[in-house]
Chains A and B, each alone.
Chain A
């Protein structure tokens, strides 16, 4: 049973490699986008909250908000780069 399964795997090894690469790209891009999306949502939500509480601190909060946005957004790109590496280079 097991040996039959392994030979089956060996027979389709090229297709499997292709499928693995596609999965890598999908997981890297997709899950990366999920995490970064949640993070960016939290940052902008909290910034709006903070500005409504203390409108006089708007400039400082906006600056921090963009900093946080860019740092969070970068996490998506780490995932995407890993996915692209898996799909095209490895």
Chain B
């Protein structure tokens, strides 16, 4: 508690500058923000630590439809939503192409150009780029849509129900298919299999394994480097999947904490007033940058791995 009140003291201190209008508005906003928090704290006080609320339950997967291994839970729903959103939006736009594009078509054309010229064209030669463009573009769009769908609050939290006119409906929550390790892992496996397959097709099984060792290295050193490269090939699986999963999960976690979970756990309602602006800022950051950036990284790395697998010299 003392940490919160002490942090508020220096920010409220500076004297108002009447010269600048913007500065005054900002100062008033900061004053309202910090003053409101102090007032709320004085009124409501601290309710003590709340040990019944478990933040990890927000990410728990309950089976809704029991079908053994194929049970339908929250992640499956989000996976389907992302797939439908990807296919529907792209087919819709492709069918309504016009010579004088509107704003949406311009945006999609920019995405297409990014995928064709930068992601595939920049990392693969012409023949490979043509062959693998559909795969890489689909990965990019699917991951981006999956991340973005995850930031729309949907009534999927069956752990906590809310009561609306006598109906128990699940409360709204954020979740994304990519915030679950399985889905990025499957995508990474797909990438692993395709670039290994492509490398073996280009150079033959023996040639592909030989190609792992850089030219000019011989003897015991070559054996050591071969082991290292083989290991790094499997590490790619981990790094590809964990990068995507952890970015999205951490984004959801920090939004959850800033949007109120911190206040609930610590039992200080006034803290929610303090953290909610950070929550909104982080939400904008995640939607605006991280969602598209992670898709871009995944697709770019796929292209780089594919290019590396068929390259003549290592």
Residue ranges of A at the interface with B (Cβ–Cβ < 8 Å): 63, 66-67, 69-71, 73-74, 77-78, 80-81, 88
- Which residues in window 235-273 of B have CB below 8 A to A? 239, 242-243, 246-247, 249-250
Binding-face segment, B141-149, B187-195, B218-226, B290-298: B290-298
Tell whether, in the assembled complex, residue B242 and residue A63 are in contact, meaning their CB atoms are under 8 Å apart: no
Q: How many A-B residue pairs have CB under 8 A?
A: 34
Asked whether any CB of chain A lies closer than 8 Å to the CB of B52, the reply is: no
Contacts A63-B118, A88-B56 given; does A70 touch B294 at CB 8 Å? yes
A residues near B293, Cβ cutoff 8 Å: 66, 69-70
A to B CB contacts below 8 Å, 19 in the list: A63-B118, A66-B293, A66-B296, A66-B297, A67-B297, A67-B300, A69-B293, A70-B294, A70-B296, A71-B243, A73-B247, A74-B242, A74-B243, A74-B246, A77-B243, A77-B246, A77-B250, A80-B246, A81-B246
A74 to B294 alpha-carbon distance, docked (Å): 10
A residues near B249, Cβ cutoff 8 Å: 81
A60 to chain B, nearest CB (A): 9
B235 to chain A, nearest CB (A): 11
A67 to B250 alpha-carbon distance, docked (Å): 19
Question: Which residue of chain A has the shortest Cβ distance to B251 in the bound complex?
Answer: A77
Contacts A80-B246, A80-B250, A88-B56 given; does A74 touch B300 at CB 8 Å? no
Tell whether, in the assembled complex, residue A74 and residue B118 are in contact, meaning their CB atoms are under 8 Å apart: no
New A-B contacts (17) at CB < 8 Å, excluding given A73-B247, A77-B246, A78-B246: A63-B118, A66-B293, A66-B296, A69-B293, A70-B293, A70-B294, A70-B296, A70-B297, A71-B243, A71-B297, A74-B239, A74-B242, A74-B243, A74-B246, A77-B250, A81-B242, A81-B249
Question: Which residue of chain A has the shortest Cβ distance to B118 in the bound complex?
Answer: A63
Residue ranges of B at the interface with A (Cβ–Cβ < 8 Å): 56, 118, 122, 239, 242-243, 246-247, 249-250, 293-294, 296-297, 300
B residues near A78, Cβ cutoff 8 Å: 242, 246
B176 to chain A, nearest CB (A): 15
A63 to B247 alpha-carbon distance, docked (Å): 19
Which 9 residue pairs across A and B have the least CB separation, nearest first?
Answer: A77-B246, A74-B243, A70-B297, A81-B246, A70-B293, A77-B250, A88-B56, A77-B247, A80-B250
Which of these, B56, B122, B247, B296, contacts A74 with CB under 8 Å? B247
B residues near A77, Cβ cutoff 8 Å: 242-243, 246-247, 250
A6 to chain B, nearest CB (A): 31
A70 to B251 alpha-carbon distance, docked (Å): 14
A residues near B243, Cβ cutoff 8 Å: 70-71, 74, 77
Question: Which residue of chain A has the shortest Cβ distance to B292 in the bound complex?
Answer: A66
B residues near A70, Cβ cutoff 8 Å: 243, 293-294, 296-297
B89 to chain A, nearest CB (A): 24
A87 to chain B, nearest CB (A): 10
